[in-house]
Structure 1
Amino acid sequence: MQHVFKVLAKINKLVLPSFTRKRLDLAKASKFQLALIGWRYFVTTRALGQ
């Protein structure tokens, strides 16, 4: 199952925007942006096996 999350993490890196490079303020982020951040966090932690 961890292999699936590693592939998803690579797809996320290619497709989804990086909010850290854009210096997004989390207090001003929209619900959609917060959902994307949560999704990326979920996939990344599962890909690392934690």
Structure 2
Amino acid sequence: MKKPIFRSLAKVNKLLLPSFTKRELDISKASKLQLAIIGWRAFVTINSLD
């Protein structure tokens, strides 16, 4: 039941949220907001793959 929700969230994340790997962001220099976005994207991705 939750898998389709996370898959659609992953698609929305890909469209709306910035990709920090393309910008070559250094994690040690990331702001709190950037870390929160990275964490959210990772959470959604992990749950969409289960």
Identity of aligned residues (%): 59
Stretches of structure 2 that go unaligned for 5 or more consecutive residues are none
The separation in 2 between residues aligned to 1:10 and 1:47, in whole angstroms, is: 10
Q: What's the TM-score once normalised by structure 2's chain length?
A: 0.97
TM-score if structure 1 supplies the norm length? 0.97
CA RMSD of aligned residues (A): 0.3
Gaps (5+ residues) in structure 1?
none
Moved segments of 4+, more than 6 Å: none
Question: How many residues are aligned here?
Answer: 49
